[in-house]
Amino acid sequence: MKTVKSLLLGSAAGLVAVAGAQAADLPVKAKPVEYVKVCSLYGAGFWYVPGTDTCLKIGSYIREEIAFNNAGNGSPIGVQTGGGQFTRTDTSQLNARTRSVITVDLRTQTEYGVLRSYLEGGFEMQSASNGAPTNDSVFFDRGFVQFAGLTAGRIRSYFDINSPYQYAYINQVSSGDSNEFRGLWGIAYTAQFGNGFSASLALEDGGSTSQGNNVGQTRSRGHRTVNLEMPSQFGLGALSVDNEGWKIPDVVGALRIDQAWGYAQVSAALHDASGGYYSTALGDACGANANCQNLGHPGDAYGWAVSGGFTLNDVLGLKGDTFSIQATYSVGASGYATGGLSNALVFGGGNSVAMGWLTDGVFSTGTDVKLTTVWSLNGGYQHFWNPKWRTSIYGGFIEIDYDSTAAALICASPALTSVIVPANCSPNFSVEQVGTRTQWNPHPDLDIGVDLTWTHLNTAFAGTATIVAATGARPPGVYSVQDQDVFSGVFRIQRNFLP
């Protein structure tokens, strides 16, 4: 009996041991998968990054454009960029651009409010107005951090009010909106007072980076102070700058109200327009035509600008329709009244030409900086025919005025008369634009549209002039200096995803 009992107990122990070993070999039950959750705090497209309380949205757009009488960057040829010779070899009237953009928006709730970082950048290929192909480029439009009312990084200027791209594909010469040159560096604080009222104070780039560059970029808000003793100044589309290095940022302030009916804003800015050193054609220790420390320099000069504007929503009770208008007045701060215009040069049929030069101010040896007055007005209206079709009309005007002292300095400059000898010497000029864009949205994320624009250059130096040297295929000789027109068009296809 004892033997049987021992066998039974031993068998049971063996079975338990075997069962235990088999159980150890079974797979452990997996932990629950943490699925991505929708973040509804900030609108469509946001989701929580797994394991964090940060919400993320990734967006993009891909754009294809083909343009006539427009440079690859969307500016009318000759009015805002080069290529105004309009000859078989110097100007490509057909241009193309492809752009692919990615956006990343990160937001986290904190005890001080939302902590946000935003990045927008991409890749682009565009052709040049003179027909020469350009290389593919990498760029970024925005890169900033926002926290507790502070914004710092590459931003849209707080001086800006209405975006011209609400109504047009083509860059508008009468708008100084910083989006035209892909934003700029800045740091700002915005105070919210409730009921849609806010006030902002910003320090912004007025002459440091490529978007506020003091070397005279055609699409910047930077210094454009000109030394009339330097060679090739106020020639045919030729203008270089002689600025003091960047030492203080532009100071920008804005008061704004946002309501269901739209928004309105007034803005002001202070801009450094100081010049570099005096020059002499006789040369000195620094070399001929040099800007030399030994010669001294003009006193510091500061320009300013003011602007006011508004946008109305659902105009006349029509759902989605908008109307916008903005006016800007500047003295020694031309980049606030126009973001794209620099030097204008448009040849017409036969021996005819129009020209103009945009500066913050001019100086000559022994003078102070004579600041330039620039003012602009622009507006637009957009009507929705139905959810898939919309048409906008837009227009603007910009005028550049030099006072009598500045005009006398320009007309007496050897650099000018070595290139062009005008019978009537007046550097003041203006530009008018009128355009219309129609866009079809067969899908909410797809834009297909056409933009047509007429640009009229009211030239400086109206009358006759002797052009001393050839400009591309345009020969030297006596030309009629008269107003010129440029008709431009853009066809665009763009796919948007979570813009």
- In three-state form (DSSP H/G/I as H, E/B as E, the rest C), the secondary structure along the chain is CHHHHHHHHHHHHHHHHHHHHHHHHCCCCCCCCCCCCECCCCCCCCEECCCCCEEEEEEEEEEEEEEECECCCCCECCCCCCCCCCCCCCCCCEEEEEEEEEEEEEEEEECCEEEEEEEEEEEEEEECCCCCECCCEEEEEEEEEEECCEEEEEECCCCCCCCHHHCCCCCCCCCCCHHHHCCEEEEEEEEEEECCEEEEEEEECCCCCCCCCCCCCCCCCCCCEEECCCCCCCCCCCCCCCECCCCCCEEEEEEEEEECCEEEEEEEEEEECCECCCECCCCCCCCCCCECHHHCCCCCCEEEEEEEEEEEECHHHCCCCEEEEEEEEEECCHHHCCCCCCEEEEECCCCEEEEEECCCEEECCCCCCEECEEEEEEEEEEEEEECCEEEEEEEEEEEEECCHHHHHHHHCCHHHHCCEEECCCCCCEEEEEEEEEEEEEEECCEEEEEEEEEEEEECCCCEEEEECCCECCECCEEEEECCEEEEEEEEEEEEEECC
CB-CB contact of 204 with 186 (8 Å): yes
Surface-to-core class of residue 221, CB atoms within 10 Å of its CB (0-12 exposed, 13-18 middle, 19+ buried) = buried
Question: Quick check: 25 pLDDT over 80?
Answer: no
Question: Quick check: 57 pLDDT over 90?
Answer: yes
**What pLDDT, in 10s, does the model give residues 299-355?**
999 999 999 999 999 999 999 999 999 999 999 999 999 876 678 899 998 899 998
Q: Is the residue at 5 inside a domain? A: no
Q: How far is CA 376 from CA 156, 271, 288, 391, 431, in A?
A: 19, 17, 39, 24, 9
* Mean pLDDT, residues 183-202: 96
**CA dist., res. 269 & res. 330, Å (int):** 9
**Cα 404 off chain centre by:** 32
Residue of higher predicted confidence among 191 and 423:
191
Query: pTM, whole model, 2 decimals?
Result: 0.88
Q: Is the residue at 23 inside a domain? A: no
Q: Is the residue at 167 inside a domain? A: yes
Q: Is the residue at 24 inside a domain? A: no
- For residue 156, the one-letter residue type is R
Least confident of 158-172, 250-264, 382-396: 158-172
**CA dist., res. 308 & res. 311, Å (int):** 11
| Among 237, 232, 228, 469, residue whose Cα is nearest residue 353 | 237
Question: Quick check: 140 pLDDT over 90?
Answer: no
Region label for 232, one of left (φ > 0), alpha (ψ between -120 and 50) or beta (otherwise): left
**CA dist., res. 75 & res. 106, Å (int):** 33
Q: Is the residue at 4 inside a domain? A: no
Specify the pLDDT at position 260: 96
Domain count across the chain: 1
Q: The domain containing residue 438 runs over which residues?
A: 34-497
Region label for 262, one of left (φ > 0), alpha (ψ between -120 and 50) or beta (otherwise): left
Residue of higher predicted confidence among 170 and 211:
170
Percent of the chain with pLDDT over 90: 59
Q: Is the residue at 184 inside a domain? A: yes
Question: Quick check: 47 pLDDT over 90?
Answer: yes
Q: Is the residue at 2 inside a domain? A: no
Specify the pLDDT at position 222: 74
Question: Quick check: 218 pLDDT over 50?
Answer: no
- At 129, the pLDDT band (50, 70, 90 cuts) reads low
Q: Tell me the CATH number at 106.
A: 2.40.160.10
Q: Is the residue at 21 inside a domain? A: no
Question: Quick check: 447 pLDDT over 80?
Answer: yes
